[in-house]
Amino acid sequence: MSIFTGAGVALITPFHEDGSVNYTKLTEILEEQIAGGTDSIIICGTTGEASTLSHEEHIEVIRYTCEVVNHRIPVIAGTGSNCTETACYLSKEAERVGADGLLLVSPYYNKATQKGLIAHFGTIAQSVHIPILLYNIPSRTGVTIQPQTIVTLVKEYKNIVGVKEASGNFSAIAQMMALAKEQLNGEIDVYSGNDDQVVPLLALGGKGVISVLSNIAPAQVHEMCDSYFRGETTKSTQMQVEAIPLINALFCEVNPIPVKAAMNLMGKETGPLRMPLTTMEEDNQKVLKKAMEAYGLL
């Protein structure tokens, strides 16, 4: 069974002005997401600035999130690393503190071969028992998890159940779906990792999205997915198209710079970014604010 179906939020991590994690604000944001209909919380991913969290912070943010959510919706923890040993450690700790699933980005910088990717993800899968989603985002990692590699991993490891696809390569995604039909009876869970490609991926058999946009528009992204699954594809497609200007604004600088700026514009006071990320350029903030106003968020 899928970890979730629909709209999962790639949640930001709120900080105090001194850079420490703001757990009071995190509680508020989690409650807002659940009230808004979000189908899953994805914590400590790219949007959550996990790369600048210490291991202790990383585990505590996951633990705290699981405690607040309290099984109302699934919590998926980002525990990937370009060091297999580190990824195993974080994954085991995430399972211990209550995560319902894991999101594992492909190893970045050291750029493993496909053989290396199979060894890396397989080793992590054998260290835990909860479901795992791979994360294919070559624009950040410099590595593409090839369609056959993904299908091989899902076939060989029962707790590797699917992938967050942010490659933007629909030919490869379609090929992966075809391979999964042949080798897995179609049993693979695929989620869009790009907010501007949700409906197209659902049309290929995807289960939903892991969304940055959901940080500021949880109800809308949930409804975009839900309307598609109800067979209201025209409505879902219209919602996708209407969100494009705002999505473009949310990615006019590297994520999560714009989405944190957007949340602060909404008065959510999520705090600063951790270096090396810096505040959004003033001209881009104007574009973002205009897009948010047009979308009805301000």
Catalytic residues: 135, 164
In angstroms and rounded to an integer, the radius of gyration of the C-alpha atoms of the chain is 18
Contact present, 121 and 134 (Cβ < 8 Å): yes
Buried b / exposed e over 79-111, threshold 16 CB at 10 Å, is: bbbbebeebbbbbbbbbebbbbbbbbbbbbeee
| Residue 294 structure tokens | 């047009």
Angle at 153 between CA 152 and CA 159, to 5 degrees: 140
| Residue 1 structure tokens | 């069974």
CA–CA distance, 101 with 152 (Å, rounded to integer): 20
**Which phi and psi angles does 52 have, rounded to 5°?**
-110, 5
Q: What is the DSSP code (8-state) at residue 193?
A: S
